[in-house]
């Protein structure tokens, strides 16, 4: 009795909780247990409602846990059997251990942090023992493989591949090779998982655990594929846009239809991006200046000046000073402050040397210096002036023939002829005639406030004409027709004589005067009938009777 009293007193004085399940299911709890486990029932069955884990441990139906939280108190749990019908549990508050060993709370916090990190890691964490059996998985692993933890923990990794859930599994390979392994897995749900596993070795070099990290790359691969498709689409659209731009390319506002001019426009657009020297050749009026301005507009020098020099229009004695400027007092009549030349003015932009074949030989040397050294000296000066410009030259003469005749320096010719753009005459690219006519007709109608149109007959003559003056001649004739034609409709009679075909003189040979007059009258009345539509209108316009009109149309004699 005394021993029992002494044991009960001792249990009541202990700072940690002691609970025991006695025969019949009654509960014993010391003072510390009653303090920790509030509202402690007297029977084990009632404990299951408030603290099921503690009840299961005392009943022997669950393995003992290492730690347990009861309300705000976190305790370490120790359990053992007193005999077959009795079990005891000791709950040691962490706060008590902290007083005994201050570092314990840090270890406990570290353990809690590890559990939080393991549970909340976005990447899946799959832990396997040295035999390949699954120990732990986190929520990220459940999400990646679309499997619950209870369906994975305790199973050997080989089962997942055998059942087609995960292919390939790498746990067994890591254990066998004892080194890091990376692989791409495919799951039963159609996901692509990137995994990396590392072995944890014991002191003897045996694998005690395997840690496998996994990440779902399905979305990443889909994004990469979508990005690749988007890039292909952008490249395709850029290519189509470039082709469309070439098809509708405008040089100086003029739409071009011929394949040759589209090729020239495409070449000009390409070379515009670099500062190479360009030589443009072609007959007078084909549009050499238009190409030069287009190159300047498409280049990085577009914000700089475009300076045109017509080498054949400036008098020889003034050309050098216009090109290169002069210093104060360089010659009689020179400005006291000197003058900046056109070459210097073009710095930062483009210098266009039109009709470069007219350049005198002595000035060709100075132009060559500008091309080679990007520097020159003014007339009457010794100071070297540096310039940053691009030179485009144009000519309608055969410079190679001039080089052979020693009228043009060969070194300058080769310096100019880096990229050659040869523009064919308009008669060689008749596809451009109609769009040019329409372009200029719209331009001059808009400029002068007219609504002029060209008849089919007149348009046919314009299309058949050879245009020896090229685009310049076509533009001038369309402007003339717009401003000089009285009626809205431009007819064949309104065209300049050089446009119309020459009359067939062989038909009139052998005809006398009266026959020739009759033929002329018939043609005149036929053209008027096409223009005015009725014989009455023709008679009124030509100031003759309607019967005369009818008679002439029937091939009768001349009007008296």
CATH number for the domain spanning 483: value is 1.10.8.60
Backbone dihedral angles phi then psi of residue 365, each to the nearest 5 degrees? -65, -40
Rounded CA separation 28/16 (Å) = 14
Return phi, psi of residue 280, to 5°.
-105, 125
**39 and 45 Cβ atoms separated by less than 8 Å:** no
CA angle 214-219-220, nearest 5°? 80
Q: Are residues 413 and 441 in the same domain?
A: no
- Please provide the distance, in angstroms rounded to a whole number, between the alpha carbons at the two ends of the chain: 169
206 and 307 in a single domain? The answer is no
Inside any domain, residue 258: yes
Bridge partners (DSSP) listed for residue 185: 193
Q: Which residues contact 317 (CB under 8 A, 6 or more apart)?
A: none
153 with 259, same domain: the answer is no
Model confidence band, residue 338 (pLDDT cutoffs 50, 70, 90): confident
Task: Give the phi and the psi of residue 197 in degrees, each rounded to 5.
Answer: -120, 140
Cα separation, 287 vs 18, whole angstroms: 108
Whether 237 is in a domain gets the answer: no
Q: What is the pLDDT of residue 1?
A: 42
Q: Which tens digits make up the pLDDT trace of 127-145?
A: 999 888 998 888 888 888 9
Task: Tell whether the model's pLDDT for residue 70 goes beyond 70.
Answer: yes
State whether 420 and 431 are in the same domain. no
Residue 410 covered by a domain? yes
Residues 259 and 341 in one domain: yes
- Provide, rounded to the nearest whole percent, the portion of the chain with pLDDT above 70: 85
**Six-digit token pair at 179?**
């080194």
Asked whether residue 434 falls in the same domain as residue 416, the answer is: no
The whole-angstrom separation of Cα 188 and Cα 147 is 10
Q: Are 341 and 325 in contact (CB under 8 A)?
A: yes
Q: In percent, how much of the chain has pLDDT > 90?
A: 27
- Domain match, 36 and 85 both: yes
Residue 510 and residue 549 in one domain: yes
Task: Assign 124 to helix, strand or coil.
Answer: strand
DSSP code, position 285: T
Ranges 103-112, 198-207, 246-255, 525-534: which has the least confidence: 246-255
Asked if 553 contacts 529 with a C-beta cutoff of 8 angstroms, the reply is: yes
Q: 266 and 406: one domain?
A: yes
Residue 18's DSSP bridge partners are 90
Q: Is residue 106 part of a domain?
A: no
**More confidently predicted of 101 and 283:** 283
Please check whether residues 479 and 516 belong to one and the same domain: no
The pTM of this model reads: 0.51
**28-42, 156-170, 175-189, 430-444: least confident range:** 28-42
Q: Residue 211 has what DSSP assignment?
A: E
- Other Cβ atoms closer than 10 A to 161: 16
Dump pLDDT digits (tens) for 375-425: 988 888 888 899 999 999 999 999 999 999 999 999 999 999 999 999 999
In the predicted structure, residue 262 carries a pLDDT above the cut 60: yes
State residue 241's pLDDT score. 66
Residue 395: per-residue pLDDT: 94
Please give the Cα distance from 257 to 436 (Å, whole number).
Answer: 9
- Boundary residue ending a domain (190, 216, 242): 216
DSSP 393-416: EEESS-HHHHHHTTSS-HHHHHHH
Query: Is 113 part of a structural domain of the chain?
Result: no
Tens-digit pLDDT profile for residues 460-470: 889 889 999 99
Position 104 confidence tier, pLDDT thresholds 50, 70, 90: low
Cβ-based burial of 532 (10 A; exposed 0-12, middle 13-18, buried ≥19): middle
The CATH number linked to 211 is 3.30.450.20
Q: Is the backbone of residue 320 left (phi > 0), alpha (psi -120 to 50) or beta?
A: alpha
Domain of residue 390, CATH code: 3.40.50.300
Pair (278, 409) in one structural domain: yes
Q: Closest Cα to residue 86, out of 45, 14, 25, 10? A: 25
Residues 209 and 288 grouped into a single domain: no
Give the end of a domain, one of 169, 196, 216.
216
222 in a structural domain: no
Q: Is residue 413 part of a domain?
A: yes
Instruction: Mark which of 466, 491, 516 sits at the end of a domain.
Output: 491
Q: List Cα–Cα distances, 203 to 127, 132, 171, 500, 546, in angstroms.
A: 19, 19, 20, 108, 128
- The domain total for the chain is 5
Beta bridge partners of 184: 194
**Strand positions, DSSP E, 248-335:** 250-251, 254-255, 278-281, 306-310
Residue 68 pLDDT more than 60?
yes
> Given its phi and psi angles, is residue 490 left (phi above 0), alpha (psi -120 to 50 degrees) or beta?
beta
The answer to the question of residue 384 being in a domain is yes
- Residue 404 belongs to domain spanning: 250-424
């Amino acid at each position: 009795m005394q021993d029992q009293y002494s044991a009960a007193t001792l249990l009541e004085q202990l700072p940690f909780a002691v609970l025991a399940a006695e025969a019949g299911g009654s509960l014993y709890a010391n003072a510390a247990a009653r303090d920790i486990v509030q509202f402690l029932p007297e029977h084990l069955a009632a404990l299951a409602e408030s603290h099921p884990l503690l009840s299961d441990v005392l009943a022997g139906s669950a393995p003992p846990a290492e730690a347990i939280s009861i309300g705000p108190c976190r305790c370490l749990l120790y359990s053992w059997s007193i005999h077959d019908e009795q079990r005891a549990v000791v709950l040691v508050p962490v706060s008590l251990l902290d007083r005994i060993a201050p570092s314990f709370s840090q270890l406990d916090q570290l353990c809690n942090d590890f559990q939080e990190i393991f549970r909340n890691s976005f990447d899946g964490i799959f832990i396997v023992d040295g035999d390949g059996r699954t120990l732990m998985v986190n929520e990220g692993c459940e999400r990646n493989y679309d499997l619950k933890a209870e369906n994975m923990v305790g199973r050997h990794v080989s089962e997942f591949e055998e059942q087609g859930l995960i292919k390939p599994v790498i746990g067994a390979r890591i254990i066998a090779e004892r080194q890091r392994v990376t692989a791409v897995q495919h799951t039963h749900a159609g996901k692509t998982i990137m995994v990396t596993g590392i072995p944890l070795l014991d002191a003897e070099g045996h694998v005690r655990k395997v840690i496998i990290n996994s990440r779902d790359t399905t979305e990443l691969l889909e994004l990469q594929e979508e990005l690749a498709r988007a890039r292909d689409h952008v490249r395709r659209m850029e290519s189509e846009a470039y082709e469309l731009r070439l098809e509708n390319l405008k040089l100086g506002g003029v739409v071009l239809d011929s394949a040759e001019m589209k090729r020239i426009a495409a070449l000009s657009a390409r070379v515009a991006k670099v500062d190479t020297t360009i030589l443009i050749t072609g007959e007078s009026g084909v549009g050499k200046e238009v190409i030069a301005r287009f190159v300047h507009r498409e280049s990085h020098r577009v914000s700089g000046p475009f300076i045109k020099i017509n080498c054949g229009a400036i008098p020889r004695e003034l050309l050098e000073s216009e090109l290169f400027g002069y210093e104060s007092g360089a010659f009689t009549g020179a400005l006291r402050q000197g003058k900046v030349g056109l070459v210097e003015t073009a710095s930062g932009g483009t210098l266009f040397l039109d009709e470069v074949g007219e350049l005198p030989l002595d000035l060709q040397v100075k132009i060559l210096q500008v091309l080679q050294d990007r520097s020159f000296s003014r007339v009457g000066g010794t100071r070297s002036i540096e310039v940053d410009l691009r030179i485009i030259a144009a000519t309608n003469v055969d410079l190679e023939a001039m080089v052979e005749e020693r009228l043009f320096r060969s070194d300058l010719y080769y310096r100019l002829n880096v990229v050659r753009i040869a523009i064919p005459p308009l008669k060689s690219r008749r596809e451009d005639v109609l769009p040019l006519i329409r372009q200029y007709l719209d331009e001059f109608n808009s400029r002068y406030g007219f609504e002029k149109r060209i008849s089919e007959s007149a348009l046919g003559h314009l299309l058949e004409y050879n245009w020896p003056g090229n685009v310049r001649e076509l533009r001038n004739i369309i402007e003339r027709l717009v401003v000089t034609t009285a009626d809205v409709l431009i007819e064949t009679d309104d065209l300049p004589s050089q446009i119309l075909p020459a009359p067939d003189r062989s038909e009139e040979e052998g005809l006398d005067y009266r026959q020739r007059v009759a033929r002329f009258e018939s043609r005149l009345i036929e053209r008027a009938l096409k223009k005015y539509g009725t014989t009455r209108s023709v008679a009124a316009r030509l100031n003759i009777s309607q019967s005369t009109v009818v008679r002439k149309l029937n091939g009768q004699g001349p009007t008296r």
